[in-house]
Amino acid sequence: MAINWFKYSAPTTFYGLAGKLIPWFGISAAILFAVGLYIGFFVAPIDYQQGEFYRIIFIHVPASIISMFLYLIMAGYAALGLIFNTRLSSMMATAIAPTGALFAFISLWTGALWGKPMWGAWWVWDARLTSELILLFLYLGYIALHASIDEPRRADRAAALLAIVGSVNVPIIYFSVKWWNTLHQGSTIKFSGTSMHVAMQQAMFITLVACWLYAIAVILARVRSIILERERHTKWITELPEVK
Amino acid sequence: MKKESMFGLLLLVIRRDLMLAMRRRADVLTTLIFFVMVVSLFPLGVGPEMDMLRKMAPGVLWVAALLSSMLSLGRLFSADHLDGTLEQMMLAPQSLSMLVLGKMAAHWMVSGLPLVLMAPVLGIQFDMSAEALGILIVGLLLGTPILSMIGGIGAALTLGLRGGGVLLSLLVLPLCIPVLIFGTGAVEAVSTGLSVASHLSLLGALLVLALAFTPWVTAQALRISME
């Protein structure tokens, strides 16, 4: 039997699928958050250098990682929408942007809370903080451009082009800012072994997965509302039980 | 034969845009006056200590150049868009990227080049050394065309939108950060005795990258905005 790989690339079918998936992602995100934060706050030992303060890492690091990946995923969907003219890809890109901006903001906020006891300042102009801030600006630019164009098709395509240009620029910005100044501690998780306690690693991994699941659940919920809004004049929407 | 005609087209567009700018000299002057004014506001804001001003000078001049180039970007396509010339240009059989490149070049000559020529006078106000001034000008010469070219993408994307000017700055400024970093980095390298070549080569590399890609991307953005 041939599988139709593109069955769920139509908003009509994807709407139902997303509705069925959201509770699964949402509930597992909640459980994993509880487990990860419990291990992080109560099981993981105190850091010999940073005391209790380091525990914010369990929020800060997953948020930073996800904010960066989401930009690339958003640009990928935007490119798909631009090249193949698929409606759902553009909707996905639009749905990802606010979540990405939120995670970038959380990352900056927790970074500031962490920086105060560690470096003695809420904000330092180091490479990673600055590039995360620029990433937030890129998200906001994408959202602002999309919001200021009334016609959805033009909005999708213009914002897609901006996202692609932005993603080409991200490495250039990252390296220029890195050469400009570096004060941030080096990454603790390296491909060749790690200097972290096992419980800390577990907690961070679990909260990272929880953040991903949360991000997916929220993005699916948002894409459902975008589908409803954009396709409100079609017949299948008017026949949906929740619309009737 | 074909190559020559492409080059001829480029010159034609540049000459046309320059002539249009010359007919409306006030627009050119406003950008320049804005640049001078922003730079002059800084000593008033932070105080007249020469040591601090000397340190701040490259950053202040670069940021002011960035802002004033944003100010003039709105005009890059809007006049041609309003009177329908842009539509005719897009229907023309010649390459739209080449036309766009010509418009970018003319925009730089009108709004970037005057800033570069004005910068030494303002630099002297900030008591910059002759060597630092020289590097600042080389950096601005390499960097301001990049600002015009990246800005072109933003101008094309925001064509005909309400609140386009502010939105344009919001889109373009983050993308211009590398230019700012390397431009000011070169001047700072002079005062700390480090090699200037690395910063200037990186600026040159960015200029080449921008030359290769931005006209095409801007042409695509125009197609999206005009359809």
Instruction: Read off the pLDDT band of A204 (50, 70, 90).
Output: confident
Q: Residue B219 has which token pair?
A: 């042409």
Give the residue among B169, B212, B175 at the shortest CA–CA distance from A173. Answer: B175
The domain limits of chain A are 19-44+55-188+195-238
Residue B62: is its pLDDT beyond 90?
yes
A230: CB partners within 8 A, 6+ apart? A11, A87, A91, A152
Using a CB–CB cut-off of 8 Å, the residues of A that contact B are 134, 137-138, 140-141, 144-145, 148-149, 154, 157-158, 161-162, 165-166, 169, 172-173, 176-177, 179-180
B15: CB partners within 8 A, 6+ apart? none
Residue A48: is its pLDDT beyond 50?
yes
Pair A10, A166: CB distance under 8 Å: no
Residue A3: is its pLDDT beyond 50?
yes
Pair A93, A151: CB distance under 8 Å: no
Per-residue pLDDT tens for A185-203?
455 544 444 566 777 888 8
* pLDDT score at A191: 43
Reduced to 3 states, what is the DSSP secondary structure of residue A178? helix
* pLDDT score at B3: 55
Per-residue pLDDT tens for A119-170?
777 887 777 788 889 899 999 999 999 999 888 888 999 999 999 999 888 8
Pair B182, B139: CB distance under 8 Å: yes
Residue of B62, B175, B213 to mutate, testing the A interface (most A Cβ within 10 Å of its Cβ): B175
Per-residue pLDDT tens for A222-233?
999 998 888 888
* pLDDT score at A183: 42
